[in-house]
Structure 1
Amino acid sequence: MKNQRIFPGIILIGFGAYFLLQQTGISFFLEYSTWPTLIMIVGVAFLGQGFWAKDAEAILPGIIMFGFGLHFQLVGRVDFWPHNHIGMLILIISIGFFMRFQKTNTGLFQAFLFLIISVLLLFYDQIAGYFGLLQSGFSFIWKFWPALLIVIGIYFLLKRKK
């Protein structure tokens, strides 16, 4: 049985500290006293459950929640942080699958799949320019790459196990 004290302990400490700092009115904290901070706290609780209690299945939601919260904290505040929300969110999911794979040896395919999709979304303009797709007739086909994802997904759903 997994140690079930870690997750609620971190949640209570994190939320307690969040609300205590919010009540103190410290100007530095008030800037970060937003919903992404609460999501990050829950993510840290999942990560604590995943690493300290050796519950590897908690790693993926921990990375996703912490990463999403961090993304929404940094976007618009840090100049170098990408503003492409969907590309960054998919990259965070990919990182979560890689971290879970490290502990469970499952999910490597999903990790690479999400990584490829995130790179396509984050660097779409550069990739299209690199291949000269915008100037060629191939650009018409390039616009429909999401349809290819749908076809591949349907294949995986209908593929029979051998």
Structure 2
Amino acid sequence: MKNGKVFYGVCLIGLGLFFSLQSFGIIGNLWNVSWPIILLFVSVGFHLGFFLSGGKKQQAGLLVPGGILFVLSLLFMFEEMTNWSFSGFTWPFYLFAVAFGLFELWLFGGKEVGLLIPIFILSGLGVVFLIQNLFTFNILSFWPAILIIIGLFLIFGRGRHHSKNL
């Protein structure tokens, strides 16, 4: 526990020094670039909390907010560097952030199969919306055709030889 106190103490001292130097005008207004770095440090803190505990499955829940904040901090750094001019295109990464946090929970928390369902749903939706943003046509206008194709596949595709169980 002493290592954790030292780590968080050093982080708080660093943040205090940074904001003090900024308020005295010694360093310029770096807030636009620095606030995503704070999220990154919090993310690293969640990850360190898990891995310093010995990587126990009971502590794997720490990885969900850690993974979410990690992806969001990288996204926000990119958005701040580009003056948020791509935010209309990068919003699917919010879905990827949650999927990544859940994936870390799945990976280090016992690999429960049920957790893969929301991971694949969020990742799939993120990919669909990202592709929609990248192309000029609206891919979601084809969703009825996609439903029909999936339905035909379910009826006539892979399960025909299993019909004796009905």
Partner AA of 2:33 in structure 1: Y
Partner AA of 1:98 in structure 2: F
Equivalent of 1:121 in 115, 124, 129: 129
CA distance in 2, matches of 1:23, 1:11: 18
Please tell me whether the aligned partners of residues 33 and 80 of structure 2 are also in contact (alpha carbons under 8 angstroms).
no
The residue that corresponds to 1:112 in the other structure is 120
| SS of match in other structure, 2:91 | helix
The residue that corresponds to 2:61 in the other structure is 57
Query: Segments of 4+ in structure 1 off by > 6 A?
Result: none
| CA distances 1:61-97 after superposition (whole Å, capped 9, x unpaired) | 1111222222112214159x95335301111111112
More helix by share: 2
Q: 1:66 to 1:126 in 2, by over 3 A?
A: closer
Equivalent of 1:139 in 134, 138, 141: 141
Q: 1:52 to 1:82 in 2, by over 3 A?
A: farther
Q: 1:103 to 1:86 in 2, by over 3 A?
A: same
Please tell me whether the aligned partners of residues 120 and 127 of structure 1 are also in contact (alpha carbons under 8 angstroms).
no
Please tell me whether the aligned partners of residues 94 and 111 of structure 1 are also in contact (alpha carbons under 8 angstroms).
yes
Please list, as runs of the form range in 1=range in 2, the aligned pairs for 1:37-116 lying within 5 A after superposition: 37-53=37-53, 54=55, 55-77=59-81, 83=87, 84-104=89-109, 105-106=111-112, 107-116=115-124
Which sections of structure 1, spanning at least 5 residues, go unmatched? 146-162
TM-score computed with the length of structure 1 as normaliser: 0.62
Which sections of structure 2, spanning at least 5 residues, go unmatched? 148-166
| SS of match in other structure, 1:123 | helix
CA distance in 1, matches of 2:16, 2:104: 30
The residue that corresponds to 1:150 in the other structure is none
2:19 counterpart of 1:22:
yes
The residue that corresponds to 1:149 in the other structure is none
Give RMSD over aligned pairs.
3.4
Q: 1:39 to 1:76 in 2, by over 3 A?
A: closer
The residue that corresponds to 2:154 in the other structure is none
**Alignment coverage as a number of residue pairs:** 132
* Identity value in percent: 17
* Larger Rg, first or second structure (1 or 2): 2
| SS of match in other structure, 1:33 | helix
CA distance in 2, matches of 1:9, 1:114: 37
Partner AA of 2:46 in structure 1: F
The residue that corresponds to 2:162 in the other structure is none
